[in-house]
Amino acid sequence: MTIKDAALHALIEPVVDAMGFELWGVDYISQGKHSRLLIYIDQDNGVSVDDCADVSRQISAVFDVEDPIAGEYRLEVSSPGMDRPLFTIGQFERYAGHVVAVKLRVAFDGRRKFQGLLAGVEADEVLLQVDGEEYCFPVEVIEQARVVPQFDS
């Protein structure tokens, strides 16, 4: 998590918690005039479009006062969905036994993208089984990780 993401997370989390949701993650994508702030919320019984709109309005009100992002950006509030991104070591622990796709910040064994079974977590490292091999990645080298939905046929 970058310093900017951590600061945004600290500002957003109390608002989301007060509304009865879990703040799943915050992703700020800086692209000049096309920057986006993605906020993922979750709840045991699911998240509706109306829930996302309500949270968006509350966060917008806080951001109007605090003004944490300079320049233009688009605010998006969403459920993490079935292909949910994984942000924290706790989330990796919760999804042990699921197939995940991982993109690393730097190449390992000549590649940055891996997909396999999330075998678990040891300290701050993610264990991933890919094609019979087990890889151990420190969470800070993971740029992006998502659960890969599995459908029974």
CATH assignment at residue 67: 3.30.300.70
* Residue 114 belongs to domain with CATH number: 2.30.30.100
Same domain for 12 and 74, yes or no, is yes
Per-residue pLDDT of 83-103, as tens digits, reads 999 999 999 999 999 999 999
- The predicted pLDDT at position 4 comes to 67
Average pLDDT, the chain: 92
The tokens describing 136, both together, are 């151990």
Q: What is the mean pLDDT of each run of 10 residues along the chain (153 residues)?
A: 75 96 91 88 95 96 89 92 94 96 94 96 94 93 94 76
User: Using CB atoms within 10 A of its CB, is residue 25 exposed (0-12), middle (13-18) or buried (19+)?
Assistant: buried
Within-domain flag for 93: yes
Residue 38 shares a structural domain with residue 104: no
